Amino acid sequence: MTKYILALDQGTTSSRAILFDHAGRPHASAQREFRQIFPQPGWVEHDANEIWASQEGVLQQVLRDSGVAASDVAAIGVTNQRETTVLWDRATGEPVANAIVWQDRRNAAYCEQLVGQGKADLIQQKTGLVLDAYFSATKLKWLLDNVPGARARAERGELAFGTIDSWLIYKMSGAHLTDTSNAARTMLFNIHTLQWDTDLLALLDIPASLLPDVVPSSGVAAHTHVDLLGISVPIAGIAGDQQAATFGQVCLKPGMAKNTYGTGCFMLMNVGKRPLPSKNRLLTTVGWSLGADANQTDYLLEGSAFIAGAAVQWMRDGLGIIRDSSEVEALATSVPDSGGLVFVPAFAGLGAPYWDPYARGTLIGITRGTGKAHIARAALEGVAYQNVDVLSAMQDDAGIALSELRVDGGAARNDMLMQFQADILNVPVVRPVVTETTALGAAYLAGLAVGFWASQEEITAQWQVGRRFEPAMAADERLTRLHKWQRAVERSRDWSE
């Protein structure tokens, strides 16, 4: 019997490959960062060829370094940064421009035009999404309108669009496809019919010939070219990173929720087999489809804060107050509190429930006694404060009070941040033994498809608590802190003109 599932986790700042064994434990991993491109304020791009080079590099490296043969890999699962938009030439396989990253805000004014035309309700009803530059549709429209010749070539059927999952699968297999969870993030996909929506394609003037085929998240979708690994391996799991992390945290029943602390913060709650519209400007999104039958599709509510781990990177690369991201906890805990400092990490605007693309990062309450440790502490607290706004909206939408919040992602290893998160949410925060839940979710989706794991019950039994953080903050202190946070948020809003 084959021994491993290979998960490819293509993130915003790095690509990783992780081999998982039957117990759902990481056996070996490799990781490689790639360039972030900032052509002008509010614009964020990646070179899609660099993404592929980094992902192929770690794929080969993890097998080589661990001594695992490709024949010992039962299947490949793919998970990816979502919404990031690639447009490439079908004949040459070359991108026609840099990929536009999910954080990119160049289309904020165009989205406001659509809101002014009364299109926001139509888009939310069909896609479950708030009309925002975050999603792929307006990024794709921008490429078609601004890359010389792109629109004419698209209309002749010469170009292909995809999110990062589609790009990686195309490079590995030649197939042009995506899964329901990634399609649901494009703002072109009807989450009720689970098909591309002709009304939205017409509204945004996007030729249907650009679009990938949509397949279930779990199921053999393609096979790798033989020259990639020496043999052909099935690609059997595909999911956007946050949906994959929710699956990896085995939040498989309505009311279960997780928060991932990656480049941004992403809180998702399982709401069952039917999409639940949000009254509070959260997103309703496809979680995963475990087969072609629509009854095997789970839906999620999602609230995202755009900046989490990126705030730590900024302290390292922008301010230079730490040399390595791992140093931030020691610096932050070297002072008893933030000294009255409040940090709103709105570097790329504010996400849910505000959806303010013109908000900007704000550090308020600076005094002569403020030092770098206070800034570090305030930055970590700011990451946690954002999630209070998201959770309160989510509980109101779902009518469910959360009993615990499962956490993962790089910054979830920071004990100070996790304790403060439990305190300020007034909800227990639970960190599992395996925190690589994004990659694990992709592995589980692939493994279920090929019989590596027999059932959802088998993978649920593998989830184990690593550490549980109980709320310990007094109620009056919590309310005082949240009031100060709200004042700081108001000062950060609508700043960029």
State which residues form the domain around 187. 4-241
In a domain, 229, yes or no: yes
14 is in an annotated binding site: yes
270 is in an annotated binding site: no
Q: What percent of the chain has a predicted confidence (pLDDT) above 90? A: 80
486 is in an annotated binding site: no
392 is in an annotated binding site: no
Residue 293, pLDDT score: 63
**Average pLDDT, stretch 316-323?**
89
In a domain, 489, yes or no: no
Helix boundaries (H) for 95-174: 108-116, 120-127, 136-146, 150-155, 164-173
31 is in an annotated binding site: no
The answer to whether the beta carbons of residues 387 and 238 sit under 8 Å apart is: no
Residue 403 pLDDT grade (very low, low, confident, very high; cuts 50, 70, 90): confident
Q: Comparing C-alpha atoms, which of 29, 37, 30 is closest to residue 13? A: 37
In a domain, 338, yes or no: no
240 is in an annotated binding site: no
Residue 103, pLDDT score: 87
105 is in an annotated binding site: no
Average pLDDT, the chain: 93
In a domain, 198, yes or no: yes
Q: Is pLDDT of 294 > 60?
A: no
134 is in an annotated binding site: yes
Q: Is pLDDT of 413 > 70?
A: yes
CA distance 325 to 327: 5
- pLDDT 10s digits, 115-172: 999 999 999 999 999 998 989 999 999 999 999 999 999 999 999 999 999 999 999 9
Task: Tell me the CATH number at 89.
Answer: 3.30.420.40
In a domain, 350, yes or no: no
The string over 299-334, giving b where at least 16 C-beta atoms fall within 10 Å of a residue's C-beta and e elsewhere, is bbbbbbbbbbbbbbbbbbeeeebbeebeebbebbee
Residue 401 pLDDT grade (very low, low, confident, very high; cuts 50, 70, 90): confident
Q: Is pLDDT of 298 > 90?
A: yes
Q: Which two tokens stand for residue 232?
A: 């052909």
Instruction: Please compute, for residue 55, the number of CA atoms within 13 A of its CA located in the half-sphere on the CB side.
Output: 29
In a domain, 120, yes or no: yes
Whose structure tokens read 């403020």? 370
CA distance 387 to 259: 9
The answer to whether the beta carbons of residues 85 and 161 sit under 8 Å apart is: yes
The answer to whether the beta carbons of residues 166 and 176 sit under 8 Å apart is: yes
CA distance 165 to 103: 17
CA distance 347 to 349: 6
Residue 264, pLDDT score: 84
Q: Is pLDDT of 357 > 90?
A: no
Element (H, E) at 478: helix 475-492
30 or 293, which is more confident = 30
In a domain, 427, yes or no: no
- pLDDT 10s digits, 248-283: 999 999 889 999 988 888 999 999 999 999 988 899
12 is in an annotated binding site: yes
Cα–Cα–Cα angle for 109, 128, 306, rounded to 5 degrees? 55
83 is in an annotated binding site: yes
Question: Does residue 391 sit in helix, strand or coil?
Answer: helix
2 is in an annotated binding site: no
297 is in an annotated binding site: no
In a domain, 352, yes or no: no
* Domain count along the chain: 1
CA distance 274 to 253: 13
Q: Is pLDDT of 302 > 80?
A: yes
